[in-house]
Chains A and B, each alone.
Chain A
Amino acid sequence: MSIDIDTARKVAHLARIAVAEEDLPALAGELSGILTFMEQLNEVNVDGVEPMTSVTPMRLKRRADVVTDGGYPEKILSNAPDAREGFFAVPKVVE
């Protein structure tokens, strides 16, 4: 599977990583190389194989659906690049 420049541009946008137009050909080449390496997986017969989920069979833990934590907005906001009046602040989202 070879990745062209348009696909590289689309993947970068999906990943929300800005990539300059002039860097796209090199990126496409690198991604193609890695995907070619992954193509080996097509040699394996996986008919009827269930994807692995855990090392030994284990039932997922359950707990009571109750609030066990919280009540400290100042701690939650303490690392925010921009926090105002108890909220995270971001650029305008809607026109």
Chain B
Amino acid sequence: MSLNQLTISDARDALRKGDVTSAEITEACLTAIDGAGALNAYCHLTPEIARDQAAAADARIRAGDAPAMCGIPLGIKDLFCTKGVPSQAASRILEGFRPEYESTVTQNLWDAGAVMLGKLSMDEFAMGSSNETACYGPVVNPWKVDDRQLTPGGSSGGSAAAVAADLCLAATGTDTGGSIRQPAAFTGIVGIKPTYGRVSRWGVVAFASSLDQAGPMTKTVRDAAIMLGAMCSHDPKDSTSADIPVPDFEAALTGDIRGKKIGIPREYRMDGMPAEIEKLWSDGAAMLRDAGAEIVDISLPHTKYALPAYYVVAPAEASSNLARYDGVRYGHRARLGQGDGITEMYEKTRAEGFGKEVQRRVMIGTYVLSAGFYDAYYNRARKVRALIKRDFDQAFAAGIDAILTPATPSSAFGLGEMANADPVAMYLNDVFTVTVNLAGLPGVAVPAGLDSKGLPLGLQLIGRPWQEGDLLNHAYVLEKAVGFAAKPAKWW
């Protein structure tokens, strides 16, 4: 086994024992990245930073001051602002932008001694479910079963592909409607979106501020617990950041869920659900039952309205957040014609800088916020959102500890296969994940098996607010019971 294939927990233990150095693990990752151009996962590489940070981490470990993430090489989603390093949210409009500041999440990771290998591609402004809207071209899923190239999912597709192909030990992702969990499921890795407010949004390029949360994408549940702990903090620079203590999530992994109540929401059993997904789901429930949990049928009656509510709220917030890209302060500015004024500058800059899907969502958001439609669309969607949250509140009040659902409606599909589909058809990828963002809850995707084609499928567990430790413990039990050990065969 080469060092880039290590998990965070194994690397941590080996580093502390002095069996390996961060410099060696980092070189192994850089070599793996060099040989993986075909996956297109990284969009900006930072080998000099990586080697400097690895040397510093090794010195820190020798001095006996080594937090869990010390010396661990990571990939960082292009949505995070990293000082002096291109951070462009996979958009042409941020071409050339090098932030003068560091996001709180990445700063927390560097403070803990982690190592940055580079930036990872994604759907433009995190808007997409297939990584095909990236200005760098699509990321390719390392999983391959025929001559087709498959999507790694989106929007954190670069992160998912890099973790699955061992091009880093773990990666950061962000999740607005499923952007950590869906790509994690498509690539056979673990991804958790924490409770809204658990992780600071400061320095993360904003998509939909009331829904965006960052989280780790890792090879194991234990790694997710370790890395999440390093990412979380109360941050005065994010007014929605929760001022509550960050517990030791790894310590919560007891493997004991006896007496816990697992809810199976009947509304997630959708018409036309593939038999494979249905079986995966019931097998997962049986495993949790065998571990001593009680399986309970529950109802979340407003589930079917989550997607339409999301596709009002998210574009509305996006249209407001993306108003800042005007060609004045940073990024791209269009070349202007004779007599063009400031309005032409805005309109041409944004037409050239934003891709089609981003333009579409900004315009939808503009429409639903415009005079005369604000109440009919935006306020109505916000009220439906409250009802979706109430469904979950009632389930938890009735004693449910965690909710089990499929993570995605299918395994990874082929790149280009959705090119001519209705935009709404692509939105359906988020059907099982989007409720969690609307309600602000923590959700984790865990690899649960392979489909008949040999592609990974994931299950999702949804937890109570602020109970990420308990949620990860359920995920840990499921992970052990499934025993998922498959890796993509190297073709790249």
A residues near B (Cβ < 8 Å) are 3, 7-8, 11-19, 27, 30-31, 33-35, 37-44, 46, 49-52, 54-56, 58, 60-61, 63, 72, 75-76, 78-82, 88, 90-93
Q: Name the A residues within 8 Å of B347 (CB-CB).
A: 13, 16-18
Q: Name the B residues within 8 Å of A88 (CB-CB).
A: 328-329
B450 interface residue, CB < 8 Å from A?
no
Q: Name the B residues within 8 Å of A11 (CB-CB).
A: 363, 366-367, 370
Contact present for B304 and A38 (CB under 8 Å): no
Q: Name the A residues within 8 Å of B137 (CB-CB).
A: none
Greatest chain B CB density within 10 A among A14, A60, A78, A93 is at: A14
What are 13 residue pairs bridging A and B, where the CB atoms are less than 8 Å apart in the complex? A11-B363, A11-B370, A17-B363, A27-B360, A37-B424, A38-B311, A43-B305, A54-B197, A55-B439, A56-B465, A80-B328, A90-B345, A92-B342
Q: Name the A residues within 8 Å of B289 (CB-CB).
A: none
B346 interface residue, CB < 8 Å from A?
yes
The docked-state distance in angstroms from the alpha carbon of A37 to that of B309 is 10
Q: Name the B residues within 8 Å of A90 (CB-CB).
A: 328, 342, 345
A74–chain B nearest beta-carbon distance, Å: 9
B100 interface residue, CB < 8 Å from A?
yes
- State which residues 218-233 of B face A: CB under 8 Å: none
Q: Name the B residues within 8 Å of A8 (CB-CB).
A: 363
A18-B351, A41-B381, A90-B345 as given contacts; A56 in contact with B466, CB under 8 Å: yes
Point out the residue from A14, A17, A61 that lies within 8 Å of B236, measured CB to CB: A61
A90–chain B nearest beta-carbon distance, Å: 6
The docked-state distance in angstroms from the alpha carbon of A35 to that of B99 is 36
* Complex: chain A residue closest to B243, CB-CB: A61
Indicate with 1 or 0, residue by residue over B196-237, a CB within 8 angstroms of chain A CB atoms. Answer: 110000000000000000000000000000000000000010
Contact present for B311 and A37 (CB under 8 Å): yes
The docked-state distance in angstroms from the alpha carbon of A8 to that of B367 is 9
B327 interface residue, CB < 8 Å from A?
yes
B247 interface residue, CB < 8 Å from A?
no
Contact present for A50 and B383 (CB under 8 Å): yes
Greatest chain B CB density within 10 A among A51, A60, A63, A80 is at: A51
Given contact pairs A49-B386, A52-B389, A79-B331, a sample of 20 additional A-B residue pairs in the complex whose CB atoms are under 8 Å apart: A11-B370, A15-B363, A16-B343, A16-B347, A18-B347, A31-B363, A31-B364, A37-B424, A40-B308, A41-B309, A41-B377, A42-B380, A49-B383, A51-B385, A52-B438, A54-B240, A55-B196, A61-B236, A79-B99, A81-B330
- Which of B333-341, B412-420, B453-461 is found at the contact surface with chain A? B333-341
A11-B370, A33-B423, A49-B386 as given contacts; A91 in contact with B350, CB under 8 Å: no
* Complex: chain A residue closest to B365, CB-CB: A15
Point out the residue from A44, A56, A76, A93 that lies within 8 Å of B384, measured CB to CB: A44
Contact present for B327 and A54 (CB under 8 Å): no
Q: Name the A residues within 8 Å of B336 (CB-CB).
A: 91
Q: How many residues of B contact A (CB 8 A)?
A: 75
Greatest chain A CB density within 10 A among B236, B331, B363 is at: B363
B residues near A (Cβ < 8 Å) are 96-100, 195-197, 236, 239-240, 242-243, 302, 304-305, 307-309, 311-312, 319, 323, 326-333, 336, 340-348, 350-351, 354, 359-360, 362-368, 370, 377, 379-387, 389, 422-424, 427, 438-441, 465-466
Q: Name the A residues within 8 Å of B305 (CB-CB).
A: 40-41, 43-44
A17-B362, A82-B333 as given contacts; A61 in contact with B239, CB under 8 Å: yes
Contact present for A30 and B360 (CB under 8 Å): yes
Q: Name the A residues within 8 Å of B346 (CB-CB).
A: 16
Contact present for B348 and A34 (CB under 8 Å): no
* Complex: chain B residue closest to A92, CB-CB: B341
* Complex: chain A residue closest to B101, CB-CB: A75
The docked-state distance in angstroms from the alpha carbon of A39 to that of B311 is 11
The docked-state distance in angstroms from the alpha carbon of A41 to that of B311 is 11
Point out the residue from A17, A58, A92 that lies within 8 Å of B359, measured CB to CB: A17
* Complex: chain B residue closest to A12, CB-CB: B363
The docked-state distance in angstroms from the alpha carbon of A23 to that of B244 is 50
The docked-state distance in angstroms from the alpha carbon of A81 to that of B427 is 35
Contact present for A18 and B302 (CB under 8 Å): no
Greatest chain B CB density within 10 A among A7, A46, A52, A54 is at: A52
A68–chain B nearest beta-carbon distance, Å: 9
A48–chain B nearest beta-carbon distance, Å: 9
* Complex: chain A residue closest to B302, CB-CB: A44
The docked-state distance in angstroms from the alpha carbon of A41 to that of B427 is 16
Point out the residue from A14, A30, A46, A58 that lies within 8 Å of B366, measured CB to CB: A14
Greatest chain A CB density within 10 A among B367, B377, B424 is at: B367
The docked-state distance in angstroms from the alpha carbon of A54 to that of B243 is 14
Q: Name the A residues within 8 Å of B196 (CB-CB).
A: 54-55
A49-B386, A91-B336 as given contacts; A79 in contact with B97, CB under 8 Å: yes
